[in-house]
Chains A and B, each alone.
Chain A
Amino acid sequence: MTDISSNTPGQGARVASSLLTEDKRTKKRNAAEKRFKAYGIAAIAVGLFFLAALLFAIISNGTRAFTQTFVTLDIELLEEKLDKNGNRDIEEIKKVSTFGYSPLLDAAVTKMVTDSGVETPITKAKDLKQLLSSGAAGDLRAFVVANPDRIGDTVEFRIAASSRVDGYLKGRVTRESLARDKNLSPEHLDIVDALKEQGVVKKSFNWDFILGADASDSRPEQAGMGVAMLGSFFMMLVVLALSLPIGVATSIYLEEFAPQNWFTDLIEVNISNLAAVPSIVFGILGLAVFIQFAHLPQSAPLVGGLVLTLMTLPTIIISTRASLKSVPPSIRDAALGVGASKMQAVFHHVLPLAMPGILTGTIIGLAQALGETAPLLLIGMVGFIASNYPEGVMDGFVSPNSAMPAQIYEWAKRADPAFYERAWGGIIILLVFLITMNIIAIFLRRRFERRW
């Protein structure tokens, strides 16, 4: 009572107020409450904003990589240039280098420009040819070697335009930016404008970007992801074939059989440590053990797969153990009760019931491994190496190849901005794979997971 009566009006403004009107202090506290809540909302908004910005950057920059400007050209495959003796001997045709094909291209380009009727100060065929990809002669040669009977005909080709022409149609290259360019001049762009109106130069979907091989520094318009995708595929085969059995066996041992002793503790400590080791350290391990010590081939998807297996194991072990744990003991008891051995109880009853969870964890582990780059750089899966398709399954494992993320890194390193577009496009392909894998994992979880 004395406490209350001591609250005389002179000591504060609190007494005079009722519950219905807020006094100053309450107002302050409520404002603090609102502010605190606003911070939380702002934090989530910031996180989501970054996610949106990231996705926007990827999509707005990457979709352009999926279209490519092509030039339709009628090329006369002159017999006297390609097959001097006229006997269609494939060995002799192969002897003509790509250099021997350039005159045909020169003629075709000059003819195309004259036919279009554009007035242009550029007269030399060599300069006009800058409109085309520098790999055009190589494509032409590949076609002739594959179809020697077409020599002498005039064949219509769809040839990739050079990366600058492509960039002009996509808005990346402008007349101003060409002022200092030694390969292409604004006059070239006048020709391109005219040809575009006539439908000779056209943008269309670029399958070569998805399926093709990487191209050297000077031909960004021909670079593709296909070979690197195969490299990733072979790596994932290795990861799946090794990490699933090893991971499941480890989890079964730890969850079902391991006694409580120092050895089990050692394994557990090691697994949790490996989960936290930086990925680059696994790359060092791969370099020192698999390449320097075991002399496995450098840059091979086999080695990449081995390194990623070691990285993925903790993920798979953790999820497998969780799903083994979620199988109720009554299942084991029932199996043991009808006379199964412990091994039979685990392999015939517990493991099948835990399988959906194990598969979900495995797919998520694989998705992680698919996006990992740093260890691959150390074992040499970077550089201009994804240039040829592997010749067979064995070759796919051991011949030098890149992987999707390493290929993206390679493109991001190159100087020509045309490669940046490819890098963003590569990220779209990579993310499509990751999203698909995660959706499969979520589907498996929703469809097969049992609540006991």
Chain B
Amino acid sequence: MPVFWIVCAVLAIGVIGYGLCRSKAMKSAGGNARNLHSLPSYYGANAFLFSVVAPLALLFAWLIFVPILIDRSIGATIPEDRIAEGSSLGLMMADVSRVSNGLNLAVSEGAMTEEESRSIRTEFTDVRERLASVGVALGSNVDATILQAAQKHRAASDRSRLFMSIAVIALSLAGLALAMSRTKADFRARNTVEAAVKVMLIAAASVAILTTLGIVLSLLFNTIEFFRIWPATDFFFNTTWSPSFGDTGSELGLAPLLWGTFYISIVALAVAVPVGLFAAIYLAEYASPKVRAFAKPLLEILAGIPTIVYGLFALLTVGPLLVSFFGDGGTFGVEWMRGGTAVMTAGLVMGVMLIPFVSSLSDDIINAVPQAMRDGSLGIGATKSETIRQVVLPAALPGIVGAILLAASRAIGETMIVVMGAGAAAKLSLNPFEAMTTVTAKIVSQLTGDSDFASPQALVAFALGMSLFVITLALNVLALYIVRRYREQYD
């Protein structure tokens, strides 16, 4: 039975249970809801929860874990000596599941009878050709071991499906029966339902933890996998990055990517921090309410524009513009820039993106400095700018530093602008008009396209992701620490 129909059946049982228990509760109260402990609908909801939650949880767990168990038990039946030279059990199992899926498809499309799919042997049938006819492409000819394992795999999966359907629906019916037996006038249905709702709320809140866990584990496992086939010292201390897919001779050094990342971020901050900070100061201290109401939302539009737009702006507008200034035969007569993609291009555009980030955060922080401090400074004769420079800014400094660090972590993690604006060559160079590349851009280029996920060239992306995650996390924690540690408490 397909999963969809199992879910439907369980839900139907739940709805029937709702009606049954609600009416049973009413009957047991003599038709008067006042004799019940809870409102009638709670008795119904109780039955619904009893007959739906546990079965669906079982279904979900079964779908995740049983295939793994089946794979393992089938894998154990493949004798060691049948594993081909240069292959591994994992690769064999991938073939097995591909063949078994292919057989399923062939049966469902009517290209093969159920009987046939169980009995075919490689000696008599060209399995590869039969499967190709329904659109399953296999890389190599199917050997007998794999075919047999695949047939066993199919049989086991079918059996597991059947057991699963029976178990889930039986559990659902049992839940319904239990709820029915407990439904009486003095049963505290509301308390049960509310406890269940609370459990659901906690489960929803745990999604955040699970996500973090998922990120950390998926990065960690693949990074460990990478360091198992690639020396860690080479990754961290090699100063060349030149991956070559397919053959040996790759050099996977982190240094040039980190350098590119930091260089671009520095250029971006050099644009965003002065502009953002001065804009914040003006908006907080000088601007009339009218100007503020007009300029602040307009600046914040810059933060709402998707990064792909900035990327395209860098690639097609800013890059060519910079080349026309600094490139060959450009306005300034210097030949610093060879192509539109460069550190400067990506950095400038990223800086624009970060302006509202710096300005809104700093604006809030400057506004939080108490008015009495300004009044005191102005009262002893300081001009407004002297007050800002010598009183307001020092008071707001921890917050502003925090905002700048947060902007830096944004800059380091930014992807689309650097993918489109910074170029693809990993270089250790000081020239800001040269193309360089970053950690994020390389994660994209190593993981898109048809690459083998077990190769070091693809796995290195996880190590890069790990480095990125650690760096941005450290920056965020540092920002929070600075804000908390050095914040002046005014009240």
Contact = CB atoms under 8 A, between A and B. Distances in A.
A280 B299 contact: no
A52 to B, nearest CB: 10
B282 A408 contact: no
Contact of A57 (B218, B313, B416): B313
Interface string A27-42: 0011011011101111
Interface stretch (A97-105, A145-153, A422-430): A422-430
Contacts of A40: 278-279, 281-283, 285-286
A47 B355 contact: yes
* Residue among B207, B283, B352, B409 with most chain A CB within 10 A: B207
Contact of A409 (B214, B221, B278, B308): B308
A276 B472 contact: yes
Secondary structure of the B contact surface, majority rule? helix
B448 interface: yes
Interface stretch (B48-56, B250-258, B381-389): B381-389
Contact of A374 (B64, B198, B278, B416): B416
Interface in B151-209: 190, 194, 197-198, 200-202, 204-209
A51 B212 contact: no
Contacts of B202: 253
A33 B316 contact: no
Interface stretch (A86-94, A114-122, A187-195, A242-250): A242-250
B204 A276 contact: no
A287 B356 CA distance: 31
A271 B204 CA distance: 12
Given A39-B278, A250-B204, A373-B416, A431 B383 contact: no
B307 A253 contact: no
Given A54-B313, A372-B306, A278 B440 contact: yes
A43 B276 contact: yes
Interface in A231-253: 245-246, 249-250, 252-253
Interface string A254-291: 10011000000011001101101111111111011100
Interface residues of A, number: 83
A229 to B, nearest CB: 15
A353 interface: no
A49 to B, nearest CB: 10
Given A40-B281, A42-B278, A276-B472, A48 B298 contact: yes
Contacts of B279: 40, 43-44, 47
B420 A434 contact: no
Contacts of B352: 47, 50, 54
Interface in B94-150: none
B312 interface: yes
B448 A378 contact: yes
A401 B373 CA distance: 58
Contacts of A82: none
A343 B198 contact: yes
A376 to B, nearest CB: 10
A280 B212 contact: no
Interface string B341-377: 0000000000010011001000000000000000000
Contacts of A293: 218
Given A285-B211, A377-B444, A36 B201 contact: no
Interface string B385-420: 110110000000000000000100100111110011
Interface residues of B, number: 84
Interface string B462-490: 10010011001100100000000000000
Contact of B275 (A46, A271, A367, A373): A46
Contacts of B282: 37, 39-41, 43-44
A292 interface: yes
Given A278-B415, A278-B440, A270 B211 contact: yes
* Residue among B205, B298, B304, B412 with most chain A CB within 10 A: B205
A36 to B, nearest CB: 4
A7 interface: no
A377 B409 contact: no
Contact of B304 (A310, A367, A412): A367
Contacts of B389: 36
Contacts of B201: 249-250, 252-253, 257
A343 B443 CA distance: 46
A281 B413 contact: yes
Contacts of A61: 316
A138 interface: no
A408 B385 CA distance: 46
A313 B385 contact: no
A246 B406 CA distance: 27
A407 to B, nearest CB: 10
Nearest to A254: B205
A249 B204 contact: yes
Contacts of A46: 275, 355
B305 interface: yes
Given A40-B278, A270-B208, A33 B413 contact: no
Contacts of A367: 304
Given A48-B298, A270-B209, A245 B204 contact: yes
Contact of A288 (B197, B218, B472): B218
A276 B476 contact: yes
A250 B468 contact: no
* Residue among B277, B309, B416, B461 with most chain A CB within 10 A: B309
Interface string B310-351: 111101110000000000000000000000000000000000
B311 A378 contact: no
A370 B305 CA distance: 11
* Residue among A29, A40, A314 with most chain B CB within 10 A: A40
B101 to A, nearest CB: 10
A122 B315 CA distance: 37
A200 interface: no
Given A278-B440, A341-B194, A373-B308, A267 B448 contact: no
Interface string A294-319: 10000000000000001001100100
Given A271-B208, A279-B415, A371 B306 contact: yes
* Residue among A37, A249, A284, A377 with most chain B CB within 10 A: A284
Interface in B55-114: 64
A250 B215 contact: no
Interface string A374-403: 100110101000000000000000000000
Given A43-B282, A50-B352, A281 B215 contact: yes
A160 B286 CA distance: 56
A438 interface: yes
A257 B277 CA distance: 40
Nearest to A26: B383
A277 B471 CA distance: 10
A420 interface: yes
B453 interface: yes
Nearest to B203: A249
Contact of B469 (A281, A283, A430): A281
A58 interface: yes
User: 8 smallest A-B Cβ distances: which pairs?
Assistant: A278-B413, A40-B282, A371-B306, A288-B218, A249-B204, A43-B278, A36-B385, A374-B415
25 contacts: A40-B279, A41-B282, A42-B278, A47-B302, A48-B298, A61-B316, A250-B207, A267-B205, A270-B211, A278-B469, A280-B444, A280-B465, A287-B218, A287-B447, A292-B453, A343-B194, A371-B307, A373-B307, A377-B448, A378-B448, A382-B448, A405-B308, A409-B416, A412-B420, A420-B316
Given A33-B384, A288-B222, 12 more contacts: A35-B385, A43-B279, A44-B282, A51-B302, A54-B310, A276-B476, A278-B414, A280-B440, A292-B453, A371-B307, A378-B447, A424-B316
Interface of B: 64, 190, 194, 197-198, 200-202, 204-209, 211-212, 214-215, 218-219, 221-222, 274-279, 281-283, 285-286, 295, 298-299, 301-302, 304-313, 315-317, 352, 355-356, 359, 383-386, 388-389, 406, 409, 412-416, 419-420, 440, 443-444, 447-448, 453, 461-462, 465, 468-469, 472-473, 476
